[in-house]
Amino acid sequence: MTDTAAPLRLTTGPAMLELLPALGGTILRYDWHGVPVLRPTEGMPTAARVTACYPLVPYSNRIADGRLAFGGKSWPIARTADNHPLPIHGLAWQRPWTVTRQDATHVLMEQRYEVPEALAPEAAVPWPFPFHATQSFELGEDVLRMTLTLRNTGTTEQPAGLGWHPYFPRTPQTRVRAQVSHMWINDDQSLPRERIDTGGAVDDGLPVAQVDLDNVFDGFAGTASVAWPERGMAVDMEAHAPLGHLVIFTPPGKPHLAVEPVSNMTDAFNRYALATAAAHEQAHELADLAPGVRQDRATGTLLLAPGAQAAATLTLRPRRLR
């Protein structure tokens, strides 16, 4: 096993994928027939958030008040980005990954996290639970398949989340389609405040040059697409359980957008803990996903028993527009 500081490049037919394991296990670019499918990274980046895509482990989006509640305990969580006042998107994207296998069209990498010892009382921690994560990238001529796993290496049950933060080019005619049912309206801290029915607006195609979103959607059926009519190209996304939520991010004035398949809603773990304390665990609807792995249907929170492993897969399929 080696820590790879230089980019790794995979090619097959018209497809090219470039990865940077040392910078958060990120994707630098994914091109098809010489055209960027993901937002291409400029130069050699020093921050994962300016790359084409990064993994979201062990949770996605923000943690309210910078504090995690779970199992009757509470921990202050350290900030993860200097441009966000709250912890956001986990910590795997801020730490190097180790490549464990590589060939012409496949890369497997891993990351291990141990909880820091000898912290002062009430000192903020990156995360209070140890884990082992893997990322797999499989490149085909017309497909990129990514698989993300997280295994609980601790001795107690822990909450977890999985997902990706892929950025896409944003053109005047770009449209995003996704099978979702509801959207969460945010408060002034970008935390969910009110859940509304989308009325099929996203299914019909959002003209993303005209909207300003940084919102989580639920009822995600696992399929979405980004289309660029002026480029004559689109990419279809297929996400598998437990990725039942979708974040759409369209920052005003920026030449990119993000469509993020994720397992959990924003601040899922605290919401799960609050509901558990108020109504007892019997009130939750939990789905069994794998041995020792359950998921709260309301928030998307994954519950991992010691030694249990959760997995998620995302497939990108670029295509020509007819």
Q: Which residues contact 119 (CB under 8 A, 6 or more apart)?
A: 125
How far from the centroid of its chain's Cα atoms is residue 301's Cα?
Answer: 13
Burial 209-247 (b: 16+ CB within 10 A, else e): eeeebebbbbebebebbbbbeeeebbbbbbbeebbbbbb
- The single-letter code of the amino acid at 33 is H
**203 touches 281 (CB < 8 A):** no
Phi and psi dihedrals of 47, rounded to 5? Answer: -130, 135
Give the residues of the chain that fall short of pLDDT 50.
1-3
Predicted pLDDT of residue 207: 94
Angle at Cα 168 formed by Cα 30 and Cα 29, nearest 5°?
20
SS3 assignment for 292-308: CEEEECCCCCEEECCCC
Q: pLDDT tens-digit profile of 193-233?
A: 999 999 888 998 999 988 999 999 999 999 999 999 999 99
* pTM of this structure: 0.94
Predicted pLDDT of residue 80: 86
Neighbours of 145 (CB within 10 A): 16
Predicted pLDDT of residue 283: 57
CA nearest 176: which of 206, 214, 200?
206
**265 touches 245 (CB < 8 A):** yes
Phi and psi dihedrals of 147, rounded to 5? Answer: -125, 135
In angstroms, the CA 11 to CA 81 distance is 32
